[in-house]
């Protein structure tokens, strides 16, 4: 399977909005490398693989019902890397903003994603 970075990111982003585990699994299969790693302030040592990321997404939605994440920038590409900014809302209220830095595997799926919060609730 080979996907382009934009398609891989779109599927990854859609996975964050998919509450049904089976559908989320399909999106992560298309977007996330088998050994893809995810880092953010909540998991600074990282998560490895689709199952770990799938569980993290489900856990986040359980803790934050109604979470919606929307990109606030176009994908900024540099070689096999991307930077994108986003905003998260819960029940219509902005909760935080952030930036993702992404590297892609040879097959185009996400190999490494590092997320930083740009703002958090007071």
**DSSP codes, 15-38:** HTT--SHHHHHHHHHHHEEEEEEE
CATH code of 62's domain: 3.10.450.50
Tell me the residue range of the domain where 81 lies: 5-119
- Residue with the larger pLDDT of the pair 100 and 92: 100
Number of structural domains in the chain: 1
Q: How far apart are CA 58 and CA 107, in angstroms?
A: 26
Q: What is the pTM of this model?
A: 0.92
- The tens digit of pLDDT for each residue in 49-66 reads 999 999 999 999 999 999
Q: What is the pLDDT of residue 29?
A: 96
The burial of 82, by beta-carbon neighbours within 10 Å (0-12 exposed, 13-18 middle, 19 or more buried), is given as: buried
**Could you read off the pLDDT of 1-27 as tens digits, one per residue?**
677 889 999 999 999 999 888 999 999
CA 41, CA 37: separation in Å to the nearest integer?
Answer: 14
Give which of 41, 70, 36 is closest to 54, Cα–Cα.
Answer: 36
pLDDT band for 38, please (50, 70, 90 cuts). Answer: very high
């Amino acid at each position: 399977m080979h996907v382009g970075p934009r398609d891989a990111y779109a599927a990854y982003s859609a996975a964050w909005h998919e509450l049904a585990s089976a559908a989320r699994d399909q999106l992560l299969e298309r977007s996330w490398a088998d050994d893809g790693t995810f880092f953010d302030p909540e998991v600074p040592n990282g998560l490895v693989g689709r199952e770990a990321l799938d569980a993290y997404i489900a856990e986040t939605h359980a803790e934050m019902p109604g979470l919606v994440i929307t990109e606030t920038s176009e994908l900024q590409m540099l070689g096999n890397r991307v930077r994108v900014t986003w905003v998260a809302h819960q029940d219509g209220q902005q909760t935080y903003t952030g930036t993702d830095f992404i590297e892609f595997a040879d097959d185009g799926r996400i190999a490494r994603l590092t997320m930083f919060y740009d703002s958090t609730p007071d």
